[in-house]
């Protein structure tokens, strides 16, 4: 079997499990969700699929619960000169902080940083 094919299968299985984990978490089955989440990352690792940071952030690093605001996580945004996103896992209490500069996006928007006079920050309190 080709290695790339295994990787592709791992990716597919990973996202399948991610989907299930989120569904379980929404149904309030946090224990199961964390179990499935753990499986998902195991599958990805085994198959050599590197999970994107964006997706990794949707899971608790410690207990692998899918972090859904209001269900399994609490999200606070602190602003001390720069915005910081504070995510607390309600299952195990693990706290993570992210700089909230660019939401979701990785680096790589080269085109629009200059020449645009309007900024989108702090539009409302
Ligand atoms: Zn947790």
With CA atoms as reference, report the closest residue to 98 among 68, 120, 76, 66: 76
How remote is the CA of residue 94 from the centroid of ligand 1, in Å?
5
The whole-angstrom separation of Cα 61 and Cα 32 is 16
- Please, are residues 28 and 58 in contact by the beta-carbon 8 Å criterion? no
How remote is the CA of residue 115 from the centroid of ligand 1, in Å?
43
Give the SS3 label for residue 45: helix
Q: Is residue 65 part of a domain?
A: yes
- Please, are residues 101 and 83 in contact by the beta-carbon 8 Å criterion? yes
How remote is the CA of residue 116 from the centroid of ligand 1, in Å?
41
Query: Which residue range is the domain that position 68 belongs to?
Result: 3-99
Q: Is residue 59 part of a domain?
A: yes
Q: Is residue 47 part of a domain?
A: yes
- Please, are residues 19 and 36 in contact by the beta-carbon 8 Å criterion? no
Per-residue model confidence as pLDDT tens digits over 67-113? 999 999 999 999 988 899 999 999 999 999 988 765 544 444 443 33
Q: Is residue 125 part of a domain?
A: no
Q: Is residue 94 part of a domain?
A: yes
Percent above pLDDT 70 for the chain: 79
How remote is the CA of residue 90 from the centroid of ligand 1, in Å?
7
How remote is the CA of residue 44 from the centroid of ligand 1, in Å?
19
Whole-prediction pTM? 0.74
Q: Is residue 123 part of a domain?
A: no
Domain total for the chain? 1
| Helix residue spans in 1-97 (DSSP H) | 3-26, 30-47, 53-56
Q: Indicate the average pLDDT of the chain.
A: 85
> What is the pLDDT, as a whole number, of residue 49?
95
Q: Is residue 107 part of a domain?
A: no
With CA atoms as reference, report the closest residue to 86 among 97, 94, 72, 102: 97
Q: Is residue 53 part of a domain?
A: yes
């Amino acid at each position: 079997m080709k290695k790339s094919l295994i990787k592709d299968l791992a990716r597919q299985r990973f996202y399948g499990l991610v989907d299930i984990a989120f569904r379980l978490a929404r149904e309030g089955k946090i224990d199961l969700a964390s179990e499935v989440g753990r499986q998902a990352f195991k599958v990805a690792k085994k198959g050599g699929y590197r999970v994107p940071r964006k997706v990794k952030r949707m899971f608790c690093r410690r207990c692998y619960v899918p972090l859904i605001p209001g269900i399994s996580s609490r999200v606070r945004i602190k602003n001390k000169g720069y915005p910081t996103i504070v995510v607390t896992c309600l299952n195990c209490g693990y706290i993570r902080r992210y700089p909230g500069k660019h939401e979701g996006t990785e680096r790589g928007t080269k085109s629009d940083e200059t020449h645009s006079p309007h900024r989108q920050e702090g539009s409302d309190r």
